[in-house]
Structure 1
Amino acid sequence: MNSRQGAGAYARVGVESAVMSADPHQLIVMLFDGAQAAIGSARLHMQDGNRSAKGLAISKAIDIVNNGLAAALDHERGGEIAENLTQLYDYVARLLVQANLRDDVNQLDLAASLLDNIGSGWRELRHSPAASSLAGV
């Protein structure tokens, strides 16, 4: 095993350990971080002309948005907020698809900006008494 493979294995164990010990709020924040990392990777691959790696990174970001963030929404308790977030996550996913199809870094940046705004809100909630009740929004 070379050092790069070893570092990758070490990182995966670290991520798995963090996920296992995280509360629902921390998991949501980790999803935002993962989506941002995937978008950043896609941006680099787009600039390098590596279409295959760009597509994989964008697919990962879309998966996090659709099957992580959107799937975590509790529509019963979240009401209008959950519905608005659903629509916003759908829009972000469409931006990512269009960024992939058109090699459009501006759409990647818009998706990243929207996710950053929502993610910042989640980070600020961490210190709020309402955080535990909203973790399932």
Structure 2
Amino acid sequence: MKPSPPAPIRWRRFFIAPIKGYQYLSRMLPGTCRYYPTCSEYAKWQFLFNRPDRAFAATTLRILRCNQLFAGGIDYPRVRWRPPAPAFAANPLFPPGRILAPLPRTNPDDREIAIQYWIVPHKPGEYLILKAFDR
């Protein structure tokens, strides 16, 4: 029996599913968003990295700005994030405070890591989310 995912992942899927549906349908229409990333992609990133209330607020403000009165441009999502403790980053299966050895690799020669997002410092305690693209 497969265990259910933790609660944060379940609510993220709940909020991201309609956004993905909208993105699928909007591919058939001409692009009209004045910002990069698009408003729907911005909303998706917000729900991936923020609490639902903050994601709703940021997404609503972004959609209200997406009109002819604003110039548009590049507007990456801003999130508040606290980096994990070094002991937790070394072994994420155990709570912080317990210093443990790093997890063993299944294949020691496999050192390639697929990076999906970059978390870039913006202000103290505030970070920008940037999507990593293939070369």
TM-score in terms of structure 2 length: 0.30
Higher helix share: 1
More strand by share: 2
- The higher radius of gyration belongs to 2
Name the TM-score, length of structure 1 as normaliser. Answer: 0.30
Which protein, 1 or 2, shows the higher relative CO under an 8 Å CA cutoff with sep ≥ 6? 1
